[in-house]
Every structure is written in structure tokens, then in C-alpha cells.
Chains A and B, each alone.
Chain A
């Protein structure tokens, strides 16, 4: 049953999943990181309060986050079509993954940065540091361990989202699981892909936790 053809397919599935996850995570951070920083900085007690901008950003993020990913996947078909020229396959899946994950990442980044001791930020202000310098010389370095843990959470969440894209033939392990498990009742193949997903999640999570610990100087 596990003939070379199927093994080959699962191997490709793993690569596609990793590809989608990695590209989507990087691109989602491209949007989510600045957004998260903006949320903290423009907050009422932040280093550059901007009440209205903060409210607008917060609302957009909440709106996007309240749409279930499966629905978002279909909702953004026109955008996906426009950007990638198709709505199936791993490249197409990257688009909804980025749109779905960026607001989630923004919230993760926000909560990491908010953990930074207010006193440390105040000390930096007392030394004449500008808001920009406080962001990249104080807030981000001080929040580094927490940001890394957050990125491990982000990566694993994006991975599970990417599996959901299987329902619209989005490529990767999720796609295989749905095609064989759901449509052809080949539960053994589905089981293998699920086990693969579990292993990948575990490994990524573990790497994140270790990296966070190595970088942390608070004992």
C-alpha cells in the first residue's frame, strides 16, 4: 500500500507544507511585526500615544481575527487569484495564510512587547532616547525571548492553517489527508500525514523554546 509513489507524494507533501509555512510566516511577520509594534507604541500608555490610529488598527485586527480561517480562505479567493494567478496549490495558499496570520502575529508581538518593564523604557526616555531608538534598542531586545516563543506559536498555528487549506486543494500534507482520508477512505494515508504534521509541530515548537531559552539573560 505504501508504494514508492505514495511515499514520494507524502515526501512532497511535507516539503510543500514546510514551504507554505515558512514563506507565510516570514511574510506575515513582515506585516504583523510593525503592526504589533504600532499597537504598543500608539497605545495610551505607550511611548508615542496616538489614540485614533490605535483604535483603527485594533479594530481592523479584531475584524480579521474574528473571521474563521476556512471562510477567510474562500473570501480572499479574488485577491489570491489576482496575486498568484491561481487559487489552488501551495503558492495560492500563502495569500490567505498571510492575511489570516498577520493580525494574529500582531497580537502576539503586542503582548510580548507589553511585557517589557515600563521602568526600563522610562529609563531609556530619561537618557534622551527617541521613540524609534526605544523600539529597536530597548523594546525588541528586551522582549526577544518572548518574541521567539511567540514566533514558535505563530509557525505552528500557520502550519495547522495550511493543513486546512487542503479542503480547497491548497497543497501540502493537509491536501493529501483530505484527498485520501476524506474522499477515498484511505485512513492509513491520512493517519501518516497527521503523524507527520504532529512531528513537524513538535519539532518547530521545541526549536522555538530552546532558542528563546538560549537567548534569555534573565537567569
Chain B
């Protein structure tokens, strides 16, 4: 990847806040490059600094130190007017949608256009187009309080796209939505990225979201970037502890026997899981129990992970891991899972 198609470049970004116990760095020397047209994810636990990072990209938060470049331009050098214009080329959506509650859906979408000086009838025309693109034309005259979460986020997306931005910043955009609605909104984002070529920055604490739509991901931990890379690579071979913690399923499954050995198998799209697991059980004539499975069928290939509990027999357990490796899967023992 050359520097030519970098749309956002973050250099040595530090942001400190004055807290109750003195100065506190919400971002500590962060470096990132986001490429034109990609869907870039930032994942981390709550409080890691993700929102602060994304807010520094459009200067809702002014960096304490370091530089943010947008299309090669140092944003801190912008005049007020230039900054307002620049923000129009970066749409933003939020966890709580943040729609104008006293304005109709149509007027919400018109809002960024009217403040940009677009005349009313042009704005209304464009807003209607956008509403049909996100699939909620019929709600144009409704008010946000009459919408479901998924519909609200669609309005917010339409509104964020109104000024034809090059970048869409999404701060926990699906965190307030149920899984089915999340899927729909993520599919819409992916579609927008493909069709309009808009670069998307996705902030989330959920690995599923990253897996589902991101090309590359940065792992944020404790105000720093722990790891950056392609989603596939990080998911199959996380290098840092922070990454492992995020990838390993949080909800401890029921029914596992404490003390037994567990193994995490990663499916990265090269295989389907059933034949391999079934084959293994047949070969060893030993049952294994699946403690956790989070699998996804993406374009006919299996993606995701599974945690199985290995038989008590140490030798068999070792052989099983070996077997999985031979089948070309990433399998590693995880400790302390149950």
C-alpha cells in the first residue's frame, strides 16, 4: 500500500483531558493510516479512547498533540470556515442516532444541506433520494420519536450522506440495535461503501461488527493502538493480549467442565466446519463438546470461531490439536476459558 491513496493519516496523536486526578491521556501517541475506499474498524473495550479518536478525526475534539491529515492536509491549519467545509466531507453517525426530535425525517435529512446553503427545494429533492436509498421513503413525514432504532439509524445515515462526504465516521452505530437490525444496518454501510466508494471508519466494541464489514482493523487498548492489520490476520492470529481479549468470546458458555482443556478453532473462509469436526470425531472415536460457536456463512465460506472441550485423555487431546492443524485450521489451546 502506498501513501498515495491514504485519505486519513493520524500522526502521533495525543489527547489529554483534565480529570479529577489530574491530567489523563485518552489518546497516547496514536498513529494510523486509513486508505481511500476501505472500511476501517477500530475496536476496543469501553474507555479505550475510541470515541476520542474518531472525534479527533473531524476535530470535534482538538488534539493536544500530533497531526491529523485529511487528503494530505493538516486539519489544524484550517480556518473555521474551512473546518466547517471539511466536516461536510466527513459524515458522522452515532450510537444514539442524535436526530432532531422536533423535525420530521425529511427535514432531518435536509438539515446539513440547508446549513450548507443549499436552497430548500434542491435539498428536499436530494433528501428524498437519500431516504429511498436507505430504504425508508415512506417515513419522510414521520418524526424521529415514531421510528424504531434501525429506522432512526437509517435516517442518520441518510443525513450523514447528504453533503456527499468522502468519509463516514461511525461511532458505535449499531451498539443500540438488536442483532437482526445490526445486520441490516451493517449491510447498508457495506453497500454504501461499495456503491459510492465512501471510506468508512467503524468504531465498535463488538468483534462481530468488525468481522462482518471491515477490511482492516486497529485494536485500541488503554489509549494506544495495540495492533493494526487485516481483519482476517488479526482474527486468526492475534499478536497482542488486547486483541485476544476482544476476540475470545465474552459470554462464558454453560456446561463446560472446569479443569478440562479447551481449544479454539478459527475458520477463515477456507473450509466448512462440519466435515472436519465430524471427521475428527469419527477418526478418534471420541466425542468433543462444542462450548461456543460463532460461525458465519459469508459468500459460501465459513468464517468465525469455535471453542471445543478436548477429551480428558491428554494424548488424544494433543493429537486432536495436531489433526486440526493438519487440516489447515488455526487451532490453539485456550486456558482458563471454563
Binding site for B on A (CB under 8 A): 117, 119-120, 122-130, 133, 137-138, 141-142, 144-145, 215-219
The answer to whether A137 touches B145, judged by C-beta atoms less than 8 angstroms apart, is: no
The answer to whether A217 touches B102, judged by C-beta atoms less than 8 angstroms apart, is: yes
Query: Which residues of chain A are near B60, meaning CB under 8 Å?
Result: 122, 125-126
The answer to whether A125 touches B101, judged by C-beta atoms less than 8 angstroms apart, is: no
The answer to whether A128 touches B145, judged by C-beta atoms less than 8 angstroms apart, is: no
Query: Which residues of chain B are near A128, meaning CB under 8 Å?
Result: 83-88, 112, 115-116, 163
The answer to whether A133 touches B94, judged by C-beta atoms less than 8 angstroms apart, is: no
Cα–Cα, bound, A148→B65 (Å):
44
The answer to whether A218 touches B101, judged by C-beta atoms less than 8 angstroms apart, is: yes
Question: Chain B residue with minimal CB distance to A219?
Answer: B145
The answer to whether B101 touches A126, judged by C-beta atoms less than 8 angstroms apart, is: no
Cα–Cα, bound, A144→B102 (Å):
8
Add 15 more A-B contacts to A127-B92, A128-B87, A217-B143 (CB < 8 A).
A119-B96, A123-B94, A123-B156, A125-B60, A125-B87, A126-B58, A126-B92, A127-B111, A128-B88, A128-B116, A129-B115, A144-B102, A145-B102, A218-B101, A218-B102
The answer to whether A119 touches B98, judged by C-beta atoms less than 8 angstroms apart, is: yes
CB of B27 within 8 Å of the partner chain = no
Partner of B115, one of A120, A133, A144, A219: A133
The answer to whether A123 touches B92, judged by C-beta atoms less than 8 angstroms apart, is: yes
The answer to whether B115 touches A137, judged by C-beta atoms less than 8 angstroms apart, is: yes
Q: In the assembled complex, how far is the CB of residue B115 from the closest CB belonging to chain A, in whole angstroms?
A: 5
The answer to whether B111 touches A137, judged by C-beta atoms less than 8 angstroms apart, is: yes
Cα–Cα, bound, A133→B83 (Å):
15
Cα–Cα, bound, A133→B81 (Å):
13
Q: In the assembled complex, how far is the CB of residue A108 from the closest CB belonging to chain B, in whole angstroms?
A: 19
Dominant secondary structure of chain A at its interface with chain B: helix
Query: Which residues of chain A are near B84, meaning CB under 8 Å?
Result: 128-130
Cα–Cα, bound, A127→B115 (Å):
8
Query: Which residues of chain A are near B88, meaning CB under 8 Å?
Result: 127-128
Cα–Cα, bound, A123→B169 (Å):
11
Cα–Cα, bound, A126→B91 (Å):
7
Question: Chain A residue with minimal CB distance to B86?
Answer: A128
Question: Chain B residue with minimal CB distance to A217?
Answer: B143
Query: Which residues of chain B are near A127, meaning CB under 8 Å?
Result: 87-88, 91-92, 111-112, 115, 159-160, 163
Query: Which residues of chain A are near B80, meaning CB under 8 Å?
Result: 130
CB of B188 within 8 Å of the partner chain = no
Interface centre among A122, A216, A217, A219 (most CB of B within 10 A): A217
CB of B243 within 8 Å of the partner chain = no
Q: Among residues 150 to 179 in chain B, which have CB atoms less than 8 Å away from a CB atom of chain A?
A: 156, 159-160, 163, 169
Q: In the assembled complex, how far is the CB of residue B159 from the closest CB belonging to chain A, in whole angstroms?
A: 8
CB of B99 within 8 Å of the partner chain = yes
Q: In the assembled complex, how far is the CB of residue B83 from the closest CB belonging to chain A, in whole angstroms?
A: 8
Q: In the assembled complex, how far is the CB of residue B156 from the closest CB belonging to chain A, in whole angstroms?
A: 8
Cα–Cα, bound, A123→B88 (Å):
11
The answer to whether B115 touches A123, judged by C-beta atoms less than 8 angstroms apart, is: no
The answer to whether B87 touches A142, judged by C-beta atoms less than 8 angstroms apart, is: no
The answer to whether A217 touches B101, judged by C-beta atoms less than 8 angstroms apart, is: yes
The answer to whether B103 touches A141, judged by C-beta atoms less than 8 angstroms apart, is: yes
Cα–Cα, bound, A179→B143 (Å):
54
Are A141 and B96 CB-contacts (below 8 A) given A127-B115, A219-B145? no
Cα–Cα, bound, A137→B169 (Å):
23
Q: In the assembled complex, how far is the CB of residue A60 from the closest CB belonging to chain B, in whole angstroms?
A: 28
CB of B100 within 8 Å of the partner chain = yes
Question: Chain A residue with minimal CB distance to B146?
Answer: A219
Query: Which residues of chain A are near B114, meaning CB under 8 Å?
Result: 137
The answer to whether B101 touches A120, judged by C-beta atoms less than 8 angstroms apart, is: yes
Which 3 pairs from chain A and chain B are nearest by CB? A128-B84, A123-B98, A128-B87
Cα–Cα, bound, A137→B108 (Å):
11
Chain A to chain B contacts (Cβ below 8 Å), 16 pairs? A119-B98, A120-B98, A123-B92, A123-B94, A123-B98, A123-B156, A126-B87, A126-B90, A126-B92, A127-B91, A127-B111, A127-B159, A128-B87, A128-B88, A129-B112, A144-B102
